Structure 1
């Protein structure tokens, strides 16, 4: 039997997922991809009214449930206005400064299903024309989408079927390196979604009986704050969000271990569950880092704010350059996947 996890399979799945356009509000294709894949393993799934997907694996104890999430929605943009010259003004979806996508290739998704490519640029890009191009503010007033079609005015653009409200996705530019890195946009949080899919498929293939009925929500509104704050069964005791670990000055998180979050902007995560996760890691040779994220909130913290009486936690692979052109290493994916796999087979955390 092949070893688990197989990080090459994980990276391939991540590569497939990041190529599916799914900015918050436009996630139907990503959800359908996961639904179709889990159906092949005969895993029970259902959609919630918000468009997320919930997969359930029955457990020995049905009186207490576990609930895990990863989100498939990503950063993106939406057409705010069609300018007189046919180019597009935009509004961002999710939290990021616009200089993070300056020069990025993108796709405009029309209501009719047509797709048009373009590039996100400063209006004042030509240095031969605009002397202070480098000094101007990167914001929605100065930045625009240049469409790769012959458009000379607003009417030309509208004839293509492009309108206010059309979603814009960013080119992920995914690449796997020989040194074990995967670099791409949208590793937040499609890296974690791939990890949950692999764990579900492994448990289903092995006919593993979990100690508790366990639900896996692939949420679709996390980047705008409310992806995992509903459809939580009343029997749920533990809620674990699997999302990216943030890397930067003063952080312990790195690209080679699983990050276990102690506290984020919403406050501390449950002390007992945090300690339970670290004990599982120690017992199974899983390398981890404890960390605090000062400007971060998760689906688990959204559930707490919504009033759910659950024990909540947050883990995930370390992702460099969060909300920009991200990167992680296969070691971080491996350790995160191992922790999720052993966690769902463990007993409940103590207080």
Structure 2
């Protein structure tokens, strides 16, 4: 940690809110409860969440100047699934929401959210789930057609499952398996991107507690469809700069670690704004924040979505380093707090 902005952020608040976010199911398109949660949390800090027609949440923070308003965006939606069909034995075939490898959810506990509001527990399995029964169980390809959800109800037929209220189109959320360790490690599904949402609320909490005002107007956008590519396709027309706050990928030739703030110079959508990226690097150095600059070849952000939709903006991408993205993820509280510190440095500059 450094002796500037990061220590003045409320680390315990950020981590506590992150746990609440992680434990609230929110696969893309099923984000009503998590938006309610962030709206309640914002209200405690004196801010209002405006909901857009597509379900995104927006928080406007008045600044000292209305010149060149800036947007900060993170997404509350996560990976998940939807019921594709009910099999003759009562189990479910599912279709993925978001891009993940099937082996990363095999054996996972899940909840099926029916349209009536009921939840039914289940487990994701291969259709050849036992090595005692199937000689090719180990080699069976993990793909959508070869996967199923076993429901924790007395059902052995399609008709019995239908009587539970389950139908095609019902959302499915994965058990996040949240663990907050005393040494600062945080491991859970869906750190992408709830760790960044918690960082943004760390910024809000600091501004309110310190009675400070950003140098210019700031709009925080909490998007609900990022994992399927169009979370932040709309940006308020007054915004000139947009920082996507999303997880930093780790692996291969990338230099980011789980304790760093990742600054992405380029992803699959192309390079981010030179001036903004340079300023973020300079501010990280000034604040003494551990950081890394990387290029992500298989990655797109809400800033990418905004640019593709025609927004006339400059854009940048930062976030806490997250290991095993779209799998069993892990980060460190330092990276989340330091991401908030870098955002604060940017908006107060």
Q: TM-score, normalised by structure 2?
A: 0.97
Name the structure 1 match of 2:266.
263
Tell me the CA shift for residue 179 of structure 1.
2.1
Gaps of 5+ in 2: 1-5
SS in 2 for 1:236: coil
1:44–1:57 Cα contact (<8 Å) kept? no
Q: Measure, in 1, the Cα distance between the counterparts of 2:60 and 2:205.
A: 12
2:91–2:149 Cα contact (<8 Å) kept? yes
Gaps of 5+ in 1: 347-351
The answer to whether the aligner puts 1:246 opposite 2:249 as a matched pair is yes
Name the structure 2 match of 1:349.
none
Name the structure 2 match of 1:188.
192
1:184–1:326 Cα contact (<8 Å) kept? yes
Correspondent of 2:19 among 15, 25, 29: 15
1:63–1:235 Cα contact (<8 Å) kept? no
CA displacement 1:235-282 (0-9 Å, x = unmatched): 211100000000011001111110000000000000000010111111
Name the structure 2 match of 1:159.
163
Q: Measure, in 2, the Cα distance between the counterparts of 1:44 and 1:110.
A: 30
2:63–2:217 Cα contact (<8 Å) kept? yes
SS in 2 for 1:44: coil
Q: TM-score, normalised by structure 1?
A: 0.96
Tell me the CA shift for residue 234 of structure 1.
2.2
Structure 1 segments of 4 or more deviating over 4 A? none
2:202–2:337 Cα contact (<8 Å) kept? no
The answer to whether the aligner puts 1:197 opposite 2:201 as a matched pair is yes
Q: Measure, in 2, the Cα distance between the counterparts of 1:178 and 1:322.
A: 22
1:43–1:204 Cα contact (<8 Å) kept? no
2:176–2:189 Cα contact (<8 Å) kept? yes
Q: Measure, in 2, the Cα distance between the counterparts of 1:328 and 1:227.
A: 23
Q: Measure, in 2, the Cα distance between the counterparts of 1:129 and 1:240.
A: 52
Tell me the CA shift for residue 113 of structure 1.
0.4
Correspondent of 2:240 among 237, 241, 252: 237
Correspondent of 1:298 among 289, 296, 301: 301
The answer to whether the aligner puts 1:43 opposite 2:47 as a matched pair is yes
Q: Measure, in 2, the Cα distance between the counterparts of 1:64 and 1:139.
A: 47
Q: Measure, in 2, the Cα distance between the counterparts of 1:208 and 1:19.
A: 31
Q: Measure, in 2, the Cα distance between the counterparts of 1:322 and 1:289.
A: 17
Tell me the CA shift for residue 341 of structure 1.
1.3
What are the residue-to-residue correspondences of 1:12-91 with 2, within 5 Å? 12-91=16-95
SS in 1 for 2:192: helix
Greater shift in the superposed pair: 298-307 or 55-64: 55-64
The answer to whether the aligner puts 1:345 opposite 2:329 as a matched pair is no
The answer to whether the aligner puts 1:215 opposite 2:222 as a matched pair is no
Q: Measure, in 2, the Cα distance between the counterparts of 1:155 and 1:305.
A: 45
Q: Measure, in 2, the Cα distance between the counterparts of 1:333 and 1:239.
A: 19
Q: Measure, in 1, the Cα distance between the counterparts of 2:123 and 2:182.
A: 29
Name the structure 1 match of 2:132.
128
Name the structure 2 match of 1:225.
229
How many residue pairs were aligned?
Answer: 344
SS in 1 for 2:39: helix
2:10–2:202 Cα contact (<8 Å) kept? no
Name the structure 1 match of 2:3.
none
Name the structure 2 match of 1:6.
10
Tell me the CA shift for residue 102 of structure 1.
0.3
Correspondent of 2:335 among 310, 332, 335: 332
2:106–2:126 Cα contact (<8 Å) kept? yes
Tell me the CA shift for residue 181 of structure 1.
0.3
The answer to whether the aligner puts 1:150 opposite 2:154 as a matched pair is yes
